[in-house]
Structure formats: structure tokens, C-alpha cells
Structure 1
Amino acid sequence: MTESGDDAGAHVARMIGKDAFSRWLGVELVSLAPGACTLRMMVRRDMINGFDVAHGGIVFSLADSAMAFACNGGPEVTVAVDNSISYPAAVRVGDELVARAVEERSTSRLAFYAVTVRRSADDAIVALFRGTVYRTAQRHDATDP
């Protein structure tokens, strides 16, 4: 990632502004750096499944959003091509979650991310997410994410 922090922040701000799903999740940007992003969100009652715990898709979506914002700070539009997740602990209504995405390795077109999702109250790891992204030939501009 070679763009300045200001450019990266502008790309991500535009993405967040156009990302209705991340807004519905209630994600809040905590920090952004080249190849890294930290998001925070609260788990609401409408995110709970039939077992009275957060639906796995909610936690996956938080991790995916953290990776998306981390990988799109550069000049190229970057998209996920493969993701996996493990859930070592349950998440409940009222839990505040913090997702930290970090680029571990990259090539000219691919980058590999690790995202750790923790529960704020006890710092427990509730999800471990791995993702691969592809840097497209499309460039970010001032009007599109």
C-alpha cells in the first residue's frame, strides 16, 4: 500500500459512506493504517439467532468489513476472493466486539489478511478470520469507493 494516510482515509471514508450494510451493523472505525484497520460494534438483539447467541454471519461480516477497509487504502479497488472463519467463543447481546485486520503478506495482485475479533469486556478472542483479496485494475477515484 503506497498511498498516503490521507488518501487511504478518504477511500475508506467513501466506502463507509456508501456501505449500508456496515452502517446497519453499527461498525465504528477505530483506527486505519496502511494494510490495517480496527473496527468496533455492539451486538444488538436483532443480531441473535435461535440459540440466543450472535449469528455467525454477524461476526463474519464485522471481520470482512475490517479486512475490506484495511485492503482498500491503496490506489486499486480490492475485493475478497476467499475467506474462512473459526468461532472459539460465543457472542451475546450487549457484547462490544473489536475486529483488527492486518495484512500478513502481499504480491502484486493478491494480499493475505488475518482478522482477530475480540470481546471488549474480557478481551476474549471470539473469531479468527483469514482472507485473501485481489487488487483489481480499477482505481479508486474521488467519487467511487
Structure 2
Amino acid sequence: MTVPVEADVVSVLRLRDRCADALGIDVVEAGAGWAVVSMTVRGDMCNCHGTCHGGIIFTLADTAFGYACNSHNVNTVASAASVEFLHPVPEGATIRARAEQRWARSKSGVYDVVVELDDGTAVALFRGRSHSIGGSVVP
């Protein structure tokens, strides 16, 4: 039985991803053009209002985006990204981000990411544009 390339890519990316490590981001699952990651919001991730800082939510979504757009085993980076915050996230909540490829051509791609609480409440919508820089993640 052969292991899908995207599984190897995710393993390699995860070993290199020091930011995800520091934030406690886990890769839940991934495949060609998509990825799901999750994390639990710690007290040191909260803003002055006692809810998860928007930059942390953005980073979770960006991490899912990164795994999804590199899943084809071509080194790929973000060329643009935007986020809409929809609902506050309390300390202790587990949030999950699911990234999905919407469009790809040549060296560019567009990915949508939904960030949700465990009960399915959407907390943020993220859209990222990717640009392939060549070379492979896994040789």
C-alpha cells in the first residue's frame, strides 16, 4: 500500500512549523487541496476583552490554508489573505479551521477557510490567495 503524497507533505510541513507548535495547533486531517487544523484557546491568546485575539484566529486559518495549498507537493506561499470575524471565541474553546481549494491555475490558487467552534458556530471566514514558488516540499 502506498501513502498518499499529501500525507508525507503534511508530515514534513508539521515538523517544520514552529509557529503551529508554539500555538498548539494540531493537524486533524488533510488531503489534496484541503486541510483541517484545530487548537484550544489558552489564556495567553486572549485580548483585553477576554476573548481570543483576532491575530490568533487568523493564524489558525492561515495554517490550514498553508497545509492545503502545499498539499500538492509544490512549495507554495500566500500572496494575499483576508478575514471576516463573525463571533467571539472564549478562553478554553477549541476551534477548528477547514481550508478548501476553490480555484487553481498555473502558479496561483484561491482557498477558503471556515473557522468554527465545536458546536459548528462559524467564528471567522478567511480567503487566501496562493503563489507557487517552485520546488517540492517532499523531494
- Aligned-residue CA RMSD (Å): 1.3
Code of the aligned partner of 2:129: T
Specify the SS of the correspondent of 2:124.
strand
Would you say how many aligned residue pairs link Structure 1 and Structure 2?
138
Q: Deviations over 1:70-90 (max 9, x none)?
A: 111113100001000010100
Q: Which residue of 2 aligns with 1:79?
A: 77
**Deviation beyond 4 Å, 4+ runs, structure 1:** none
Q: TM-score, normalised by structure 2?
A: 0.94
- Aligned partners of 2:121 and 2:90: how far apart in 1? 13
Q: Is 1:114–1:131's contact at 8 Å kept on the other side of the alignment?
A: yes
**Structure 1 unaligned blocks of 5 or more:** none
Give the one of 121, 126, 132 matched to 1:124.
Answer: 121
Shift of 1:5: 5.9
How has the CA–CA distance of structure 1 residues 80 and 5 changed in structure 2, closer, same or farther, with 3 Å as cutoff?
farther
- Aligned partners of 1:139 and 1:102: how far apart in 2? 20
Query: Identity percentage over the alignment?
Result: 32
- Aligned partners of 2:73 and 2:27: how far apart in 1? 20
Q: Is 1:75–1:139's contact at 8 Å kept on the other side of the alignment?
A: yes
**Structure 2 unaligned blocks of 5 or more:** none
- Aligned partners of 2:73 and 2:67: how far apart in 1? 13
Q: TM-score, normalised by structure 1?
A: 0.90
Once the two structures are superposed, the pairs formed by residues 107-122 of structure 1 within 5 Å of their partners are 107-120=105-118, 122=119
Q: Deviations over 1:24-78 (max 9, x none)?
A: 1111111111100011110000101111111101000000000000111113100
Specify the SS of the correspondent of 2:135.
strand
